[in-house]
Structure formats: structure tokens, C-alpha cells
A and B are shown apart, each in its own frame.
Chain A
């Protein structure tokens, strides 16, 4: 770090010569270029033309003073890549506290009284001001660049979000007509259909629903990612959430002869949750359990108070999750593939969405699993009211 150029603003030529000598003697740098401006106007002109490493302003500049000049350079934004004030040192007749304060407030780096000017002092003051300016300028440029990146990222975030909304809309529109035409045929509105046709049409309808869930999951995952998913909490009963989930998955479970068992203690306190979102979590966990439980298996849903939360568990009699995978199953797009013949459906977003939704409610979700015996998923939900302590 070397000071190579300096602008001295002073109306007296003899003072300039004296300063030039002093600077030479102070050994500021071997090839220091000192330029002189003899007036306020000339100083502004020179400063608009080029940058100097450092500036020395005499306080008295005739009609104006150094502070006027300082303020004017700020207004003209003489160095416009940064809003940091230029490294200006003001030289005054004496140490007048009011002038010093005003100078510093206007952005001067330092103030020296003429009678204190020495080679050593000058060297120190110049380099301190120069270093401070360089650091502040670098910091400011970095801040500006971070701000630019931040704005860009926010913009990209918005674009991604909007892309997914459009994608979801565009995918669902044809899906809607496909599904509705199938429903119309199934309801016999387009003429009689035979049993095989009915069976196949039901498959199409289910596939449409599967696609629709995938699209919703995709959109939810993006909204969770970009922090755009908001939850609306209200007190509600767990029973209602579980009933809703069971009702919506009963048929699928029955097809695999899977028994759904719910054992809830009486008088459970209300939970403070976004009912739609917790239903979604419950359905996701139930779907998962049904998917991995072989025909004729069993799924048990339990609940109980755990400290200041309600803990819900979903236990299946499926193939279990290997220990080494248990930490990752809540990560996005993570699916445990035990053998290549296992046909997994879904995007692998379900458990990730569950975790994020439970997190948004301030709860926890985890799994306990034994190979070939089954898995239990646990999650906690906040209570609408703190439990009354009994003594």
C-alpha cells in the first residue's frame, strides 16, 4: 500500500512549496506526485478530472473553507463507485474543537493544526487516512456487490416460484378435463360401460389423482424452499385430523387388506395447527405406511401427551428402513431402494414436505425402524393451551 498522488489545496504558493518539501522529507513514497490547487474552484476542477490517493485541504480558502469544499465533493460524488467520503485531511491554524468536530462530521479523515505539522506526524496521518479510506471503500464495494447478488437472487427466487405456479396450472388444466371425462364415463353419462371398462377407467382416474398429488407436492416443496408457504393456525381436534386421513385412504388400505387401527386416549387437548397442512402430513405418513406394508398387514395410529406437545405415531408392519438410510429419509428426493424390482411411486417429496410442515409448526418428526418388522414415524404438534399441572 503506497500513496502515489496527493492534492494540496491552499491559496498561498509559499505554503505549497513548504508542504512539498515537508512531504519529501517525510518519505511518504519515492515517487509521490504532489499537485497544487490554489483555489476552491481549481480544486473542484482537478478533483473532477482525476482521483488522488489523498487530499490535504487548508481550512482557509478565501471565500470558502475546507468544509465547504468537502461537502461539495460529497454532493458532486467525485468518486462515484462508493459513497464513502474521500480521504481528506484538513489543516487548520489551531486546534479549534468546533472546527474539528464539523470537519469530522462532514467526512474529513483527520485534522492537523499547522503548528503540529512535523514529518513524522504528517506521515502517520496520511497513511492512517489512506488505509482507512481503502478499507472502507473495499468494504463498501463488497457490500454493494452483495446487495446486487441479493437482489438478483430475490428476483430469481420470484421467477422460480412463478415458474412453478405456471407449471402447476398448465399441468392441471389438461388433467382436469381428462379426469372429468373419465368420471363422466364412469357415471354412465356417456352410455353404458362393461365391468372391464369400468375397472380400467378407475385406473385412469386414480392415475390422474396421483399426478395431481405430485403436482401439489412439487408446488409445496418450492413454496417451502422459498419460504412462501404460510400456515394458518387455529385450535383443533386431533381426532378430526386422523378421521379425515383414514377416510381418504380407507379404500386404498382395503384393497391391500391392511387393517387401520387408531387408539387415542380420551380427552386429548386441542392442538394449535393449520388443519389442512397437518391433514396433509397425516395422509402422507399414512400413504407411506400403506405403500410399504405388505397385503394383510396392519397400521397403528397412536397419540399421547409428550411434555408440552402432542405426540402422534404411525406404525406399520412393512419391510423397515435400514439404519444407514434413517437419517436421510426426510431429505428431498430420497427414496430407499432395497431392490430394483420395488416399484416406488411419487416424487420422493412427501416426507420432506412433512418435516418442513412440522418444523413450521415448531414440532419434530423422526422415525424408529427395524428391518423386516416395520417402522414407526413420530411427530409432535403444539398444544392450543398449556396442560394444566396437577399437584
Chain B
């Protein structure tokens, strides 16, 4: 079962996402702030992280950077899920190499399709590494 981590400070959104993702057959973890988020990611090593941006403790991007630099973690795919319309948010995501960016409110079909794409891509990368 693929593991999905939600880092999001709005409890209602977390509950909604959890219900949706569980129904689609994923194992779901969540954290309401990036600090706890990082420790759960280190422990559970999720296959995808759904990342909110506007959060306390430096926000989503800072946590993403920490995850990317963490010695115990391999490449972790992120999907930004934000209500922010700031152009800087998109630029920053691109800078960090996060190519999946979904605006809130989102269509669940779009979110699920993006998760599938993200998982699929990540599996292919792993295979190519093995092949090399």
C-alpha cells in the first residue's frame, strides 16, 4: 500500500483529504505543522507528500528543503497543495524542483490523477537507477 503524507495546518482539509485518499486505497499520515511533519516523514518515508505552503515554523517550502537535504531520506516527491495565488510560490516550487502544483480549491479527480502520475514517475526513476 502506497504511503501518502499530508502536511497541512487546516484540520478540516486534512480530514477531507484523509477520507478521500483512504477511499482510494492509500495509507495516510498527516501532520498539522511542518516540524512534526518532518519527523513523521523521516519515520514513515512516504511515497508522496502533499504539502501546504502557508504554515507556521517557516512554512511548507522550508520543510521541503529539510526533507530534500535529510541524510536518511531518498528523493521524496512533493505535490504542493495551496490556496496561495502568489506568483512567487510557483517560482519557489520550480526552484526546488517540485513540478506538481495544485491550487485550492481542487478537483479530487485532478488530485488523484496527479498522485498517480507522481507515484508512477517515481517508480520509473527507481527502475532506471537499478538498470544503471
Contact = CB atoms under 8 A, between A and B. Distances in A.
Interface of A: 165, 168-169, 172-177, 179-181, 183-184, 187, 189-190, 208-209, 212, 216, 219, 230
B106 interface: yes
A184 B20 contact: yes
B12 A174 contact: yes
Contact of A165 (B10, B84, B104, B106): B84
B16 interface: yes
Contacts, number: 61
B16 A172 contact: no
B85 A176 contact: no
Given A184-B19, A219-B85, 5 more contacts: A172-B104, A173-B104, A177-B16, A180-B106, A208-B105
B16 A184 contact: yes
B54 interface: yes
A213 B29 CA distance: 31
Interface in B3-27: 10, 12-13, 15-17, 19-20, 23
B96 interface: no
Given A173-B10, A173-B104, A208-B105, A180 B85 contact: no
A324 B23 CA distance: 56
B12 to A, nearest CB: 4
A189 B83 contact: no
A180 B17 contact: yes
Of A177, A190, A212, chain B has the most CB atoms within 10 Å of the CB of A177
Of B12, B19, B105, chain A has the most CB atoms within 10 Å of the CB of B105
Contacts of B104: 172-173, 175-176
Nearest to A174: B12
B86 interface: yes
A219 B84 CA distance: 11
A177 B9 CA distance: 12
A172 B105 contact: yes
B83 A180 contact: no
Interface in B39-95: 54, 83-87
Contacts of B86: 165
Contacts of A216: 85
A173 B108 contact: no
Nearest to B107: A183
Nearest to B11: A177
A27 B108 CA distance: 90
Given A184-B16, A189-B20, A189-B23, A177 B10 contact: yes
Contact of B83 (A172, A184, A190, A208): A172
29 contacts: A165-B86, A169-B54, A169-B85, A172-B83, A172-B104, A173-B10, A173-B13, A173-B104, A175-B104, A175-B105, A176-B10, A176-B13, A176-B83, A176-B104, A176-B106, A177-B12, A180-B13, A180-B20, A180-B108, A183-B20, A184-B23, A184-B108, A187-B23, A187-B108, A189-B20, A209-B105, A212-B105, A216-B85, A219-B85
A212 B83 CA distance: 11
Nearest to A179: B105
Contacts of A189: 19-20, 23
Interface string B101-112: 000111010000
Contacts of B19: 184, 189-190
B17 A165 contact: no
Contacts of B15: 177
Contacts of A209: 105
Contact of B105 (A165, A176, A184, A219): A176
B8 to A, nearest CB: 10
Nearest to A209: B105
Q: Considering the complex of A and B, which 7 residue pairs feature the smallest CB-CB distances, nearest first?
A: A177-B12, A172-B83, A180-B16, A176-B104, A176-B105, A179-B105, A177-B13
